[in-house]
Amino acid sequence: MPLMKSWVTSANDANHPFPLNNLPYGVFSVDGSDPHCGVAIGDMILDVTAAEAEGVIELDDEPLFDLPLWNPLMEQGPAVWAALRERLTSLLAEGSEEQDKVEPLLVPQDKAELHMPFAVSEYTDFYAGRHHAQNVGTMFRGPENALPPNWLHIPIGYNGRASSVVVSGTDIRRPWGQLKSPDQEKPAFLPSRRFDIELEMGAIVGTPSDGPITVQEADDHIFGYVLLNDWSARDIQAWEYQPLGPFQAKATATSISPWIVTKAALEPFRCDTPSREVELLDHLKDCGPMLYDIDLSVTMAPEGKPASTIARTNYKQMYYSAAQQLAHHSTSGCPMNTGDLLGSGTISGPTKPERGSLLELSWGGKEPLTLDTGETRSFIEDGDTLTLTGVAKGKGYTIGFGDCIGTVLPAHTAPYTQ
């Protein structure tokens, strides 16, 4: 599919992340005003809340955009999702006869503050990237035992905290926790010293389900995707994770990018999952291309210093797709709700520059990174800003998500005295 031209001229730049082909959904405010639902188009935001109030967009008898959240639309299902996309495209396309009534509803992006685009119902994070799992397992168990016995059969995951999911630009406070290194006789309560990121994609459930669904049904239920940074305290994790897995190490925060890129916008970039060493059971088998060709990168900027790119990889490196993760999640019969967020798991590639976490990049701290500034890092230091970016490149256009940014602040003053 080539570039679809818009009368918003900035959207026609081949390298701009928000062309007419994209139309991602977010929530914004200007100068402290009430937040509204908006759609990014070039350097502008179309105020969808105002467009609905003025009758420019009409999808239902009841308002869908009077709340600063996209959940009401998500609940409507694929037919209404498609109707909105078709309407937005007609309003914003080059030669639109309705340009005059749409133009006053545009807001410059550089004047807007972006907010959480949807209410997260529940959050589940997976461990579904083959190279990441192989690297981490090799570090702790050796290459011959790197993957758990179940890893090639099911997407492994854990239930995280929806309350900790924050929008890009939110500062992240270094967590406290109980730490114990192998040479210590007993644990100590300290701020994390091995704070890390995980480069992920997040899939957002639109259509709810109540009972098992197929992989194809799961794909149909997904509304869209965001970039996701699953902040991780590796030293807290190392002490706590036996026998039930991650808990406090993953509870600090999960950052997401501010714009939901719809599944419809990503259709031209579908690709297959990697070849299988072990045949999956029928309920998890691939039913077509379920991944997407999305280039991903991570930069790190020490306080007051320029950013250095520390990793580049691609979403197509995942072993399990979001549809397979959602289908697996549903097998127990647990309801999946509108607004559920599924983290892909860390996305790493086969070479060192493609590793999506500092744990891998520094090989557990044994091989510190040298930034462009000359400074070295094994894990995140206070004041460091981490930025995740993602783009899919089409014929003469780019699909972007908006950056996923977080700056790490020092831990709170000690909450307990010894």
Joined together, the tokens standing for residue 4 give: 């679809």
* Cα–Cα dist 71/69, whole Å: 6
Residue environment code for 161-172, b if the CB has 16+ CB neighbours within 10 A, otherwise e? bbebbbbbbeeb
| Amino acid in the structure at residue 390 | G
* Cα–Cα dist 162/172, whole Å: 16
* Cα–Cα dist 31/248, whole Å: 36
* Cα–Cα dist 230/201, whole Å: 10
* Cα–Cα dist 168/176, whole Å: 22
Task: Give DSSP secondary structure letters for 200-227.
Answer: EEEEEE-S-BSS---HHHHHHHEEEEEE
Candidates 132, 221, 328, 329; catalytic one: 132
Q: Classify strands 157-159 and 123-126 as parallel, antiparallel or unpaired.
A: antiparallel
Radius of gyration, alpha carbons of the chain: 22
DSSP assigned state of 338 = T
153 is an active site residue: no
Task: Give DSSP secondary structure letters for 281-301.
Answer: PGGG---S--EE--EEEEEEE
Torsion of CA 7, 13, 14, 16, to 10 degrees: -100
Q: 3-class SS at 35? A: coil
Would you please indicate which residues are annotated as catalytic (active-site) residues?
132
